[in-house]
Amino acid sequence: MNLLLANIIASLSYAIALCGIVPLFPWLTTTPRLAIMAGMAAGIWQNFRGNWPTKNWAYNAAIVPVFLYYSLQYSRANPIQPVVSVLAIMLAIRLGGEKSGRYYLQIQALSLFCLASSSLFDLSPAFLIYLALMLLMVAVELVLLTFYSQDSSMVLSRADLRRVVAAGLFMPLASLPLLVILFPILPRTQLPLWNFLSPAIARTSGIADKVEPGSSANIGETPVLAFRAEMPHQPQATLYWRGTVFNKIVGNRWVRDEMMPFERINSTGPQVTQSIYPEPSLSRTLIALDAPTAISLRRIRRTSDNTYILLGSATKRLSYKAESSTVGILPVANNFKHDFYLQLPADIPPRIRRLADGIQRQGHSDARRIELLEQYFRNGNYRYSLHDLPTGDHALEKFLFDKKQGHCEFFASSFALVLRAAGVPARLVGGYLGGDYNEMGGYYLITEDKAHVWVEVFIAGKGWMRIDPSGFAVNAGAIWGGAPKHNLFRKMQLALDSLNHVWNRAIISYDFESQVDAVRRAGKSLKKLDPGIALKIVWPVVILFAVLIAAFFIIVNRNNLQWPSREERLLRKFYHRLENDCGIKAKRNRQGLYELAAISNNEKVREFVDMYGGVVYRDRKLSADEYKRLKRKLKDGFDKTFQ
């Protein structure tokens, strides 16, 4: 089957363009999106028909207004979108027009630029896949284009094509060793250069620097990754990820006052160790499983309410180890000023005040008062909801007495407010709740929609106790009950995510420090290694490697490396015998067997040659019997003295 070279090149070009445009597509605005789709479709359709009604000068002219329009859009606040749009539209125009060799090269270059610019927005491992695919195809197409420039109507047979593809693939493969050398040297970014600072993906949920229930009627949820935590599997009910603490009420808002009283935290009990890999964000709060007792990272500050704050801003991907005690109580060793956690805003709605007074009267201890309020919440038929939320200045009052539905901020703020009004020290804790365990990667995956707020109350003699008022909602069991179900799709998502995690750990956040560290660790373990055991480990690897190399060579040279046939083996022995017994050094392949027999003037040689030639020159294969007899003749030798 023969293939038209032009068709192969066109198909490759469209595939290359796809590799460039697919990763960029989500970040494009509508116009370039439409343009690229139209250009691709028009190009393929016209290729299919073999008819190009629009001339290329028209397309070239069309670029000028596009370029002018986007250059006017360019500003310091918006430097990337116009450039990317122009790139995409230029590619679209090239795809849509008739193509010569030069235009194919332009398509390759533009596609590569498109792919490169997608890394301004996103640094996912998919980029590597697209890049590898594109480079392989570009290499093959470059080889094909050299043929194409000689003869554009050339037809390639399948075998020729296979050879060209092999040559094309060899080029990028040959550059792989170079990649290994360049990887540690070349500078790289750990964050997408443009998108990280862009306000475009503002958070819709997640933890913030304040808690303000009632600011909007609905909350959107995005399952954007917040962080990953490598750790053993934990009971779902203990998965409270502590972030920040809000300790002051200002109007409707809970905010954080840094001038909190000094507490000495005295953690005991079993510890859970985690390695946390947060996604890049502007937040400087470090998250760990409640309650963290230590976070190992340089340049951080631990405040006395047990939050950890990064000093300075994150310039690269973070990763840190944290130790946590998961009993749910944060023991405080010293006597501190409780009044700080009893501050109330001036105008508490009367209904809330009445509720608080009632609880204060009925309960004689803080513990009893908390119990009473919990009962009030449990019996109050409150519902957890993200929609149809109470709003306005008196949102909490409306939540408590009228609407009776809201999200965690409503539950936690109102619970803590009533407790404070009833004289129990309370504060809000912002963080995350739950998470999906990725069995393959051995880590928890926590998305921004898992952001949560709960309450810590101080009980004298015990310390700060975690209470999650959202759990008192009537539908709490339906929302947080049990671990999330893993269907096949979810499992695939998790598998992909572990690939992403490995990519981030090994490639994106790779730096020189970690390389030195790895070398040092390898040196240490090498010193400890027993040479006997080492050999045992190394030998199979060496053998496997040798086998692989041998297999590779055999496959490559399989035409030259055929196992010699019976005839060839006999012939080899025959020459050997002839040299040993008759002293005749035969010119192989240049002297015929009968010629040699005549020269040797030896009856045994003649017999052998007659028998052998009678088979070979009659186009027969040696039968097993003939082979055996010929071998016997060779074994007996041609020596005349033993006749």
Q: Using CB under 8 A, list all residues that contact other proteins.
A: 565, 567-568, 570-571, 588-595, 613-614, 616-619
Q: How many CB atoms lie within 10 A of CB 23?
A: 23
**Contact indicator for 145, 171 with CB cutoff of 8 Å:** no
Question: How far apart are CB 635 and other proteins at their closest, in Å?
Answer: 19
Question: How far apart are CB 565 and other proteins at their closest, in Å?
Answer: 6
Question: How far apart are CB 640 and other proteins at their closest, in Å?
Answer: 22
Question: How far apart are CB 7 and other proteins at their closest, in Å?
Answer: 35
Q: How many CB atoms lie within 10 A of CB 609?
A: 20
Question: How far apart are CB 563 and other proteins at their closest, in Å?
Answer: 13
Beta bridge partners of 452: 431
Q: Which of 375, 423, 386, 393 is nearest to 408 (CA)?
A: 386
Q: 639 is written with which tokens?
A: 């020596």
Q: Which of 101, 111, 174, 102 is nearest to 137 (CA)?
A: 111
Question: How far apart are CB 616 and other proteins at their closest, in Å?
Answer: 7
Sheet hosting strand 320-324, strand order edge to edge: 292-296, 320-324, 272-278, 225-230, 443-447, 436-438
What is the distance between the alpha carbons of residues 393 and 372, in angstroms, rounded to a whole number? Answer: 26
Question: How far apart are CB 643 and other proteins at their closest, in Å?
Answer: 22
Question: How far apart are CB 547 and other proteins at their closest, in Å?
Answer: 30
> In the Cβ-directed half-sphere of 162, how many Cα atoms lie within 13 Å?
4
Question: How far apart are CB 598 and other proteins at their closest, in Å?
Answer: 9
**Contact indicator for 585, 604 with CB cutoff of 8 Å:** no
Torsion angle of alpha carbons 171, 177, 179, 183, nearest 10°?
180
Q: Report strand pairing: 405-406 vs 383-384.
A: parallel
Q: Which of 56, 66, 119 is nearest to 88 (CA)?
A: 66
Give whole-number Cα distances, 538 to 156, 518, 524, in Å. Answer: 47, 20, 18
**Contact indicator for 308, 286 with CB cutoff of 8 Å:** yes
What is the distance between the alpha carbons of residues 578 and 22, in angstroms, rounded to a whole number? Answer: 70
Question: How far apart are CB 40 and other proteins at their closest, in Å?
Answer: 51
Q: Which amino acid is at 158?
A: R
- Answer whether the bond into residue 291 is a cis peptide, omega within 30°: yes
Beta strands in 120-204 (DSSP E): 155-157
Nearer to other proteins by C-beta: 225 or 616?
616
Question: How far apart are CB 554 and other proteins at their closest, in Å?
Answer: 22
Cα 10 off chain centre by: 32
Q: 278 is written with which tokens?
A: 């947060």
**Contact indicator for 211, 428 with CB cutoff of 8 Å:** yes
